[in-house]
Structure 1
């Protein structure tokens, strides 16, 4: 987390104080506390002042690395009396009042929590009445997400390391599958069918060996299921030959942290001429999109180029038919960080312009469930501080595994 970047975003939006609360299972607080493991905490950042973090006393060792913060245990805040208040709204108003007064919070305040319920709406109403000189800023964007978009070199290095290990793990699975028997499907040495569930279990173990976690789920889908973009695959289904198998893997650092996201489509044996032609087209436009992903480029322009290409080849797109269920029916990409999906967005409706520090996917796909196949190629790429785009996703894109 870059404090200067936080200040820049606050100033951009006219925010005097940022207050973020919750567990560090909440991505925004995890980011702001540089990966601290906290059951509940409150982060306070006033412009041109060091950050403040209020935390449980028993978690003091978990914040010891935050040497540029003022860290304050709850026992110093006088919050224990709040447990006697039965009304959650009254208790909430009192809690925030303690924070506002102890830290002399004034001006435009931006508040973010890992959960806003009806009580929180009522609490804010009461706080507005109690503090008429405080302006609770309404901003459509999550400001911490905006801060998180720009990755430092250290963050990019962590993402690259997750990517390296992810590709090692998938390679282990593919090499194992190459040793299996192909006889009306893919069979283990004892003649038992090798199922999608077995493939996922194998891959999860390889990820765990590398200190990665399948935190958000993975996709191994074949045939008709590969033709539905987010179908994760039927675990009980034996893996087949001569058909497309989509491997979409997006693990996270163990214990929370950075993700990597990649997809490869393979066929163990010849999937047929139509599939091969579709794949050649897909691979060609993915390469063009990768080459177009440069600093200063409007994200939607890259997507428009991809849509133009597919339409020129006769494929259906969502631009031509917004109800389409087959063809190019998925946006081009998304940012990757401590969430598997974050800014920037690469779609026809995105306002994002590619910047230094962006980490994002390029993942065109073609989907034909009625024909029994689907395919996607996805690389995670990044733009460094010099403005150069790099692609650390090196795994083979050859469709057919003989």
Structure 2
């Protein structure tokens, strides 16, 4: 089978990159902002064209040079949608989801793969998701979203990721989401060899205690302090597994540590939990100091999950499997009815008219909350009329590549802290 071509943006330190390579994709170019992650990519794949800089800067790379690529992929920044953050969405200077869709329109790839955090699947972003699907349809693509659990693809960790796949109709008929293969490992069995390698006498008992999969590893950002394994709830879950989550160790415990010692994980162990298996094909060296390595690992898309989705895409592009009706392929239709009513309206409509057009049964307080939520991502004009306030959808607030967009100034101001 001939190797398929790929362009990857926001490539990070290579979790998605490795998974896609194992699925049969050859990278034409990989683009990443963080210098440490760029160094890791270049160390592990010296033959790749790895570009360092803002993916939205055509001085770093020019999307039009990659017309007709097989796959355009990216792990665009998570903070705009993260439950742990402010969920600013389209008004966050780090939001590149809508930009990625428009960039795909310039490149016209056969397939698109974008992944993000579970927060993007929440009701807060239902209109944003609808906007993305509608725009992809305008560009000639079928698309579908699915929430994937890393533990269902051989990774001993919860780690839900919200994934978008888009294809031309003729290819989408061959696509199916990867079959789930629940992870057989626990944290203990996955890390047995690493935790015992320095002769710690408590390793066997620790393996028995660490008898479940890990909570989601949180890589954090440059705004974050040192490396630790997540917020309070995650730390409590780690404690039940016999892990001290208040930091990352330089070395595993040794023969001098007591049997009941509560160990911290090393970056090598975190790497294993994140899906870098001990097999040679998953070998990957991370550059930088301990905290830098931890952040690169913790922010990655687990390679086995990327490999599973990449294989499904490759199978569709190569017409492997069984052809289906598009209506049978799509996992879930995500309509925001109030947003669609606003979008359809040729003239400003009142609350009563919008509610009727949407087909939803919502009271006035709910309507106001929904409109306020929509106004965070979309420009909505309001006009007081005799029969009540009227609303009209004017545009999308997000960055899609505009030269004069305020994103550029905010990005420049925050660049040293963006990761």
Which structure's residues are more often strand, by fraction?
A: 1
Q: TM-score, normalised by structure 1?
A: 0.29
Instruction: Kindly indicate whether structure 1 or structure 2 has the higher relative contact order, using CA contacts under 8 Å at least 6 residues apart.
Output: 2
Q: TM-score, normalised by structure 2?
A: 0.28
Over alpha carbons, which structure has the higher Rg? 1
